């Protein structure tokens, strides 16, 4: 049997689309083979069953592995080495280790590639460009965008956990159990350029954007003082060059961490046809004016905002840190969805 793999047919200009004739032994079967993807091979805690790996993969599609976190240390300072966790937190295992997170990254970047290809084609055809940067005075209920006029096209990326995975920093934190420390993060920015990885799919999308003549601009809250080291980290991860003040926009000493001001400065120069990030603040600072988290979650998907996701605004998963990782039990799990085990709650 010969079948043609042409599933990526909607990708045209930017996405490298593979078409291949594939011989298939139609009678062959690989069904039933199931290898346990046990995390225990190198686990530092073989005695404690890993939360997900202890359950066979065959039933892992159902929720077999509720995170059962133990209490956090009361002291905010770093716990002694003996208190280091026995295994990485679920969020870290997912983001830095899983095929699922890698696929989710590639999915977002495939969509970005198709979107940018269409915008480049619009430009060639003389169709008006669409900006994705909210204008001053716009609201999330009434979004309106900075005019593009005849400006050159650009795509604006956040950096951390959007195009770069901070594997070295988070691995250090996970191993030592140390709480976040701003000074240590600064040292990481300065010295960690070789311990990052590209988010899966980011490299290909960035290369394709550049080939299509779309400027690649980074807008990050990393420190401007560390611009050279951050540019080296990007370059080292295969993401090409970034030039401070032109294609690399960072937080100045003492400045607020909002990104709108920098977005508007970038939009003065470029027609920003796409924004890419892992935090809602990578799209508009307005999201961070909503509280509590239920209101923030609601506005993120309200009717005027929802159509943007995947069509101009592209979001990457990050369960490890940031403004999405917040809320107490009653906020994360609303009272109207509270379940009591009929056999009694533990």
Phi, psi torsion values for 112, nearest 5 degrees = -60, -45
* Dist. CA 176–CA 48, nearest whole Å: 18
Nearer to a copy of itself, 1 or 125 (CB): 1
CB of 178 to a copy of itself, least distance (A): 5
For the chain, what is the total number of helices (H) and then of strands (E)?
Answer: 9, 9
C-alpha–C-alpha distance, residues 174 and 181, integer Å: 13
> Which residue, 247 or 313, is less far from a copy of itself as judged by CB?
313
Q: How far apart are CA 111 and CA 208, in angstroms?
A: 12
Nearer to a copy of itself, 171 or 244 (CB): 171
CA distance 276 to 318: 13
Q: Which is nearer to a copy of itself, 243 or 326 (CB)?
A: 326
Q: In the complex, what is the shortest distance from the CB of residue 123 to a copy of itself, in angstroms, rounded to a whole number?
A: 15
- State the minimum distance, in angstroms, from the CB of residue 122 to a copy of itself: 10
Q: Which H or E run contains 142?
A: none
Taking the complex as a whole, the smallest distance from the CB of residue 216 to a copy of itself amounts, in Å, to 18
Measured CA distances, 233 to 112, 218, 227, 289, 325 (Å): 22, 13, 10, 32, 26
Residue with Cβ nearer a copy of itself (177 or 240)? 177
Q: Distance (Å, rounded) from C-alpha 209 to C-alpha 201?
A: 12
With vertex at residue 255, the alpha carbon angle to CA 253 and CA 258, rounded to the nearest 5 degrees, is 135
Q: How far is the CB of 245 from a copy of itself (least distance, A)?
A: 19
Cβ proximity to a copy of itself: between 53 and 215 the closer is 53
Please, what is the minimum distance in Å from the beta carbon of residue 190 to a copy of itself? 8
Q: What token pair was written down for 123?
A: 């430009």
Write out the DSSP string of 193-218.
GGG-EEPTTHHHHHHHHHHTT-EEEE
Q: What tokens were used for 171?
A: 């691995």
- At residue 52, the 3 state secondary structure works out as coil
> Which one, 165 or 216, has the nearer CB to a copy of itself?
165
Angle at CA of residue 235, ends 232 and 240, nearest 5°: 140
Give the burial string for 33-43 (b: 16+ CB within 10 Å, else e): eeeeeebeeeb
Comparing CB distances to a copy of itself, the nearer of 174 and 248 is 174
User: Could you tell me the smallest distance in angstroms from the CB atom of residue 125 to a copy of itself?
Assistant: 14
Nearer to a copy of itself, 72 or 269 (CB): 72
Smallest distance from a copy of itself to CB 52, Å: 4
The least CB distance from residue 183 to a copy of itself, in Å, is: 8
CA angle 245, 276, 289 (to 5 degrees): 90
């Amino acid at each position: 049997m010969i079948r043609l793999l042409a599933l990526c047919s909607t990708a045209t200009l930017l996405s490298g689309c593979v078409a291949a004739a594939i011989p298939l032994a139609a009678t062959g079967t690989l069904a039933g083979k199931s290898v346990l993807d046990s995390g225990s091979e190198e686990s530092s805690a073989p005695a404690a069953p890993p939360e997900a790996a202890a359950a066979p993969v065959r039933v892992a599609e159902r929720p077999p592995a509720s995170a059962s976190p133990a209490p956090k240390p009361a002291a905010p300072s770093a716990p002694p080495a003996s208190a280091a966790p026995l295994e990485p937190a679920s969020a870290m295992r997912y983001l830095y280790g899983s095929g699922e997170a890698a696929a989710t990254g590639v999915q977002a970047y495939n969509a970005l590639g198709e979107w940018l290809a269409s915008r480049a084609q619009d430009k060639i055809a003389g169709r008006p460009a669409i900006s994705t940067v909210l204008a001053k005075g716009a609201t999330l209920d009434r979004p309106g965008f900075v005019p593009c006029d005849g400006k050159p096209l650009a795509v604006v990326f956040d950096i951390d956990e959007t195009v770069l995975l901070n594997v070295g920093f988070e691995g250090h934190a996970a191993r030592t159990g140390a709480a976040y420390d701003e000074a240590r993060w600064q040292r990481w920015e300065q010295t960690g350029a070789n311990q990052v990885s590209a988010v899966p799919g980011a490299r290909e999308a960035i290369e394709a954007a550049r080939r299509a003549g779309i400027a690649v601009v980074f807008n990050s809250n990393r420190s401007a003082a560390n611009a050279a080291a951050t540019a080296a980290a990007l370059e080292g991860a295969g993401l090409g060059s970034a030039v401070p003040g032109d294609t690399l926009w960072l937080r100045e000493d003492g400045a607020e961490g909002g990104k709108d001001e920098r977005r508007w400065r970038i939009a003065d120069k470029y027609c920003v046809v796409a924004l890419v990030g892992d935090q809602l603040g990578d799209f508009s600072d307005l999201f961070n004016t909503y509280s509590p988290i239920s209101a923030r979650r609601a506005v993120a998907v309200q009717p005027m905002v929802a159509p943007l996701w995947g069509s101009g605004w592209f979001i990457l998963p990050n369960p490890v840190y940031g403004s999405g990782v917040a809320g107490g039990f009653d906020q994360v799990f609303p009272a109207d969805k509270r379940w009591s085990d009929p056999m009694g709650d533990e």
